[in-house]
């Protein structure tokens, strides 16, 4: 069993173990990529029913789409940070490149929606873009394993949010927006499945260490737009009105992820105890929670990109 503490460096993995691990991660990526190429590719210009776009959609609908777009627009930071933290691992770094391509389509599509529906002007889009690029998204975690699990939770949460909004668009008879959210949600759950596949492999290799990292990420998780997207708090209030809240997080994100990974709630809670205690200590002292040093895939923490 791997012991996790904040003083001694994590043990290095043997070369044989690393080769086996890399082979498994490569297989996860090839399965993901093959399915994406065969079944999931879609075209921004041809597959969205742009001719049915509603120009009388509510401002609330537009604000939600703009919020999604804003979060997606930190793509340069996500790609740069994300790919550097896993660059030693072929399967994961090639996944990040593919992920960046798919996410870039999401932001382009949402931008097209806002412009074609006339809910926003070119000038407003440039203004938003400038505000967004004024701030930089920093990696919330600093090892490949923690970032992989962060990706898993974040993509699953994003999937749930897009599904909610897809249902809402369908109920409002907005076929164009429903199709957009449908394609994006499909991509997000595919990303989630890749991350889950990788985490399953990591659990097989080092269950205690992976559980510790999962607990740490859960305890310190926040969506990437927090503190970055302009007017984030007021935007989130509108999102919550559409049925996105903390209860949904437990029901649709936390519990399903554990179930898929074959981790029981009590096994997770045991690992979480330490992470939550550290967070509560930091909160009581008015500090930002410190990162727990946890074993990295190759035994060394990765420097922030």
- Rule CB under 8 A: is residue 19 a binding residue for other proteins? no
Contacts of residue 147, Cβ cutoff 8 Å, sequence gap at least 6: 82, 85, 86, 139, 141
- Rule CB under 8 A: is residue 233 a binding residue for other proteins? no
Stretch that binds other proteins, among 20-28, 74-82, 148-156, 277-285 (CB under 8 A): 277-285
What's the rounded Cα separation, in Å, for the pair 101 and 1?
A: 38
- Rule CB under 8 A: is residue 218 a binding residue for other proteins? yes
- Rule CB under 8 A: is residue 272 a binding residue for other proteins? yes
- Rule CB under 8 A: is residue 226 a binding residue for other proteins? no
- Rule CB under 8 A: is residue 1 a binding residue for other proteins? no
Element (H, E) at 26: helix 15-35
Q: Which residue has the tokens 């957009």?
A: 180
- The dihedral region occupied by 57, where left means phi > 0, alpha psi between -120 and 50, and beta the remainder, is beta
- Contact criterion met (CB below 8 Å) for 218 and 275: yes
Contacts of residue 27, Cβ cutoff 8 Å, sequence gap at least 6: 91
Minimum CB distance to other proteins, residue 264 (Å) = 10
What is residue 217's three-state secondary structure? helix
- Rule CB under 8 A: is residue 287 a binding residue for other proteins? no
Minimum CB distance to other proteins, residue 288 (Å) = 16
Stretch that binds other proteins, among 42-50, 169-177, 227-235, 247-255 (CB under 8 A): 247-255
CB nearer to other proteins: give 163 or 219.
219
Backbone angles phi, psi at 55, to 5 degrees: -90, -5
- Rule CB under 8 A: is residue 265 a binding residue for other proteins? yes
Using CB under 8 A, list all residues that contact other proteins. Answer: 218-219, 246-247, 249-251, 254-255, 259, 265-266, 269, 272-273, 276-277, 280-281, 283-284
């Amino acid at each position: 069993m791997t012991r996790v503490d904040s003083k001694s460096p994590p043990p290095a993995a043997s070369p044989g173990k690393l080769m086996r691990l890399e082979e498994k991660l490569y297989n996860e990526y090839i399965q993901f990529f093959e399915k994406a190429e065969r079944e999931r590719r879609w075209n921004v210009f041809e597959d969205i029913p742009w001719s049915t776009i509603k120009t009388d959609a509510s401002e609330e609908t537009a604000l939600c789409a703009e919020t999604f777009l804003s979060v997606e627009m930190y793509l340069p930071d996500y790609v740069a940070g994300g790919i550097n933290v896993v660059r030693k691992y072929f399967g994961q770094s090639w996944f990040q490149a593919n992920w960046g391509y798919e996410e870039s389509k999401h932001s382009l599509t949402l931008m097209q929606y806002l412009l074609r529906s006339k809910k926003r002007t070119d000038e407003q889009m440039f203004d938003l873009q400038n505000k967004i690029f004024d701030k930089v998204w920093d990696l919330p975690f600093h090892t490949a394993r923690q970032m992989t699990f962060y990706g898993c939770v974040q993509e699953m949460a994003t999937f749930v949010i897009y599904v909610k909004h897809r249902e809402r668009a369908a109920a409002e008879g907005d076929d164009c927006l429903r199709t957009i959210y449908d394609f994006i949600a499909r991509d997000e759950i595919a990303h989630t499945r890749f991350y889950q596949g990788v985490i399953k492999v990591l659990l097989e290799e080092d269950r205690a260490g992976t559980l510790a990292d999962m607990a740490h990420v859960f305890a310190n998780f926040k969506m990437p737009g927090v503190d970055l997207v302009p007017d984030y708090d007021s935007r989130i209030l509108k999102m919550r009105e559409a049925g996105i809240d903390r209860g949904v997080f437990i029901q649709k994100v936390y519990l399903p992820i554990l179930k898929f990974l074959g981790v029981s709630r009590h096994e997770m809670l045991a690992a979480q105890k330490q992470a939550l205690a550290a967070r509560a200590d930091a909160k009581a002292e008015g500090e930002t929670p410190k990162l727990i040093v946890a074993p990295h895939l190759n035994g060394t923490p990765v420097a922030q990109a």
